[in-house]
Amino acid sequence: MINPTPRAARLLVLLAAFVCAACGLVYELELVALGSYLLGDSVTEASVVLSVMVCAMGVGSLLAKRFTLRPAASFALVESLLALVGGLSVIALYGCFVWLGHYQAALVGFASLIGLLIGAEIPLLMTLMQRIRRQEAGRAVADLFAADYVGALVGGLAFPFLLLPTLGQLTGALLTGVVNTVAGGLIAFWLFRAEPAPRVRLLLGLCSGAVVVVLALAWAGSGAFERAAQRRLYGGPVRVSLQSRFQQIVLTGGTGPDADTAQTARLYLAGHLAVCGRDQAAYHAALTGPALRGGPRARVLVLGGGDGLAARHVLGAPGVRRVTVVEQDPLLLRLAEADPVLRSLNAGALADPRVRTVTADAFGWLRTAPRQERPYDVIVADLPSAGQDTADKLYTREFYGLVRRMLAPGGRLVVHAGTRLWSVADTLRAVGLRPAGYAATGTNPTCADPPFTPATWHFVLASEAPLPRDVLRGVDPLTEPSGLPPRVATLLGPP
């Protein structure tokens, strides 16, 4: 029945458990990451996927008891179905989001199916191990779960550090499906090849082969599918689409380096509009102008701003001698320097000898950066908007406390506050800074969301010392509402 020795066969079953656990966790992380990119709410998406999948795994384990009489054939069938569902899950969910609009229901459906199939693996693998050699149940369970958990560790680390940045979500899920099919075939067609009857073995072979063919065809068409989906999602042809460890970077419009075509460019980071060429000059002038007018400006720190646009406006102010740009995504920094359209928009600011770029998370860099001499006259927080899970830590009292320690005497901090203007102002006040809110309006209605209504941006300028009276000229100063005590936002927590 078994060609290898019992010891070797048992190791191969444990290897299959290791591989299947790694694949299962990759599917799980694919669903969480896709939901986070599309909807921007990683906490909700992770909670939905994890809870639904774990519950479905329990149901799958119960259902698998009915198939333990033919464990090898059942395992091969389960792996083929899991490869098909998990491998195609990203394409299907992306399509549902773009064209059908029923993403949450589809997410729950795929998480349930994947969980059912993953849950069926352990009972079948346990039965196979006992058929190789009877042993105490506790020892067999310990060995099997050890392989399962180590496999989950490898899959969990491979996803963000290998699969996502090198293959992307679509191709990574499809390749994982192929690996799943191979694991099932190893058990049914070689290790336990005497169990399935010849007709069953033929049907299983056809099934596994069909799954591999479907996944290969999906991979061949994934490029065209992604281009069509992105065109529908972003409202125009996508010129650049990159996937880094941190986000998806999409650049639309703008087919040449000249100023006119560059004005049609749009940069999307993790699905959110970050730069609209026609309005970027007005936005960055409003972001940096008041802070640069308020006093000394020889040394400037830009937190975020990997597109180089804030740095361009900072360099345009007289007296600026040194600019440090701290951006966590090296891929965005390289694109800002290499892409002719982005270089036209930022005027090659990142290549200016006065500019030093640092690839690091802003929060972590502030914690470890040397703070002697409180080195910066102006700090520009050109960061993702508050409300995105990955950005919320950049709007807390702890973050602003670190920023304050980097400000030189008389230095200024400016923050794009989005819809949380007075909450940001109150958090800045809590760390000893004096905030002043202001607003600016975009010049091009096509850059707004919803379209055809000019965008309005809200900023907070803060300093330890009172700000000069004329520092907010050219923008719309805002008065803090007096209906609630100013500490309410701080007591309720960070924005």
3-state secondary structure 28-57: HHHHHHHHHHHHCCHHHHHHHHHHHHHHHH
Options 148, 329, 339, 382, the catalytic residue: 382
Spacing of C-alpha 260 from chain mean position: 32
User: Is it true that domain 277-491 has CATH number 2.60.40.1170?
Assistant: no
| Measured distance CA(42)–CA(400) in Å, rounded | 23
**Range(s) within the chain of domains with CATH label 1.20.1250.20:** 6-225
CB 207 within 8 A of CB 188: no
Question: Would you tell me how many other CB atoms lie within 10 Å of the CB of residue 484?
Answer: 11
Strand partners, 322: 299
362 belongs to an annotated ligand binding site = yes
248 belongs to an annotated ligand binding site = no
**Range(s) within the chain of domains with CATH label 3.40.50.150:** 277-491
Burial (CB < 10 A; 0-12, 13-18, 19+), residue 417, is buried
377 is catalytic: no
Phi and psi at 352, nearest 5°, equal -65, 135
Please report, in tens digits, the pLDDT of each residue of the chain (495 residues total).
446 788 888 898 999 999 999 999 999 999 988 887 777 667 788 888 999 999 999 999 999 988 888 888 999 999 999 999 999 999 999 999 888 877 889 999 999 999 999 999 999 999 988 888 777 778 888 999 999 999 999 999 999 889 988 888 899 999 999 999 998 888 878 878 777 788 888 898 899 999 999 999 999 999 899 888 888 888 778 888 888 888 889 998 876 665 566 678 889 888 788 888 778 888 999 999 999 987 889 999 999 999 999 999 999 999 999 999 999 999 999 999 999 989 989 999 999 999 999 999 998 899 887 765 568 999 999 888 765 555 677 888 999 999 999 999 889 999 998 878 888 999 999 999 999 999 988 877 667 655 556 678 899 999 998 888 788 887 888 887 754 444 333 333 333
307 belongs to an annotated ligand binding site = yes
284 belongs to an annotated ligand binding site = yes
247 belongs to an annotated ligand binding site = yes
**Which CATH number fits the domain 6-225, given the four candidates 3.40.630.10, 1.20.1250.20, 3.50.50.60, 1.10.10.10?**
1.20.1250.20
